[in-house]
């Protein structure tokens, strides 16, 4: 039995194409394929794709969050909104930017002590998105009740220092909050400040991307509302 697929809509054709029993109805399937090819040649598939894209764009615009302000009156709400937006940006920047700043060595106290404990600690971190495993090596030095760490140093350097520095060895440590910025033993510079500065910065800025992403997302979400607060009516909601 022949079926006139030319009367079918494109959606109906695609639905039949997914569900038809090709072995039981080979002739129908052949007619179906011919009709689909004809629709492709006359541009119906491209028009359908364009319609879908335009519909998605319309939905995005309808769901867009825009705060509108009146140009009448003293504009108290507008000024308050702008002030709050600026304050949020300032708070985020005040929290994140200092993470990139590493104290100059001249401002860090030199602590001379004797090693009671030393180890090269290996840590593996798995990226949840890619499942890739990252390996880090930290040199941990214990002295009395304190622990000092040189984080993220090279594997060979970490293992060599843990092997060569014995318990009882006198060392000089420049640190902040237990984080080693420079390590020296007698007249031998073991971990220079120039090497450790980037390691310290990497550790402190490990979560900075999260805050930058949040700030960018805030701008993306509220940009049109901020523009409306500055110049009312710049953007309007389609709802």
- The tens digit of pLDDT for each residue in 39-82 reads 888 888 888 778 777 676 665 555 577 888 887 878 888 999 99
Distance separating alpha carbons of residues 205 and 201, to the nearest angstrom: 6
Residue 102 above 90 pLDDT?
A: yes
Count CB-CB contacts under 10 A for residue 61: 12
Residue 219 above 90 pLDDT?
A: yes
Report the range of poorest mean pLDDT among 130-134, 159-163, 179-183: 130-134
Closest CA to 206 of 122, 126, 99, 49: 99
Distance separating alpha carbons of residues 74 and 76, to the nearest angstrom: 6
Distance separating alpha carbons of residues 42 and 75, to the nearest angstrom: 56
State the pLDDT at residue 27.
85
Q: 13 vs 9, 105, 141, 205, CA distance in Å?
A: 6, 73, 71, 54
| DSSP label of 138 | E
Is 232 within 8 Å of 76 (Cβ atoms)?
Answer: no
Q: Which one of 27-31, 197-201, 224-228 scores highest in mean pLDDT?
A: 197-201
State the pLDDT at residue 197.
95
Judge residue 149's burial from the number of C-beta atoms within 10 Å of its C-beta, 0-12 exposed, 13-18 middle, 19 or more buried: middle
Report the range of poorest mean pLDDT among 93-107, 123-137, 198-212: 123-137
Take residue 101 and report the two structure tokens written for it. Answer: 């700043």
Take residue 49 and report the two structure tokens written for it. Answer: 């794709």
State the pLDDT at residue 108.
94
pTM above threshold 0.95: no
Does 1.10.357.10 match the CATH number of domain 103-202? no
pLDDT-based confidence at 118, cuts 50/70/90?
very high
Closest CA to 225 of 61, 57, 69: 69
State the pLDDT at residue 58.
60
Mean pLDDT throughout 143-159?
Answer: 94
Mean pLDDT throughout 31-40?
Answer: 85
Mean pLDDT throughout 137-141?
Answer: 97
Distance separating alpha carbons of residues 148 and 214, to the nearest angstrom: 33
Is 202 within 8 Å of 134 (Cβ atoms)?
Answer: no
> Residue 8: CA atoms inside 13 Å, Cβ hemisphere, count?
18
Distance separating alpha carbons of residues 167 and 162, to the nearest angstrom: 10
Residue 239 above 90 pLDDT?
A: no
State the pLDDT at residue 60.
56
150 vs 53 pLDDT, higher one = 150
């Amino acid at each position: 039995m022949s079926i006139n697929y030319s009367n079918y809509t494109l959606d109906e054709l695609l639905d039949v194409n997914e569900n038809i029993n090709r072995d039981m109805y080979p002739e129908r399937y052949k007619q179906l394929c011919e009709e689909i090819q004809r629709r492709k040649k006359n541009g119906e598939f491209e028009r359908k794709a364009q319609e879908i894209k335009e519909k998605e764009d319309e939905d995005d615009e309808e769901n867009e969050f825009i705060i509108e302000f009146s140009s009448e009156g003293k504009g108290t709400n507008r000024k308050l909104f702008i002030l709050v937006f600026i304050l949020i940006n300032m708070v985020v920047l005040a929290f994140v930017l200092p993470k990139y700043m590493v104290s100059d060595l001249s401002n860090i106290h030199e602590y001379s002590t004797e090693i009671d404990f030393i180890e090269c600690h290996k840590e593996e971190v798995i990226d949840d998105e890619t499942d890739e495993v990252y390996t880090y090596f930290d040199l941990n030095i214990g002295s009395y009740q304190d622990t000092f760490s040189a984080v993220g140093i090279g594997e060979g350097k970490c293992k060599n220092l843990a092997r060569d520095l014995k318990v009882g060895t006198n060392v000089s440590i420049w640190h902040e909050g237990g984080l080693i910025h420079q390590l020296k033993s007698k007249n031998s510079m073991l971990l220079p400040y120039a090497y450790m500065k980037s390691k310290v910065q990497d550790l402190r800025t490990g979560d900075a991307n999260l805050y930058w992403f949040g700030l960018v997302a805030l701008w993306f979400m509220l940009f049109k509302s901020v523009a409306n607060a500055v110049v009312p009516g710049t953007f309007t909601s389609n709802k």
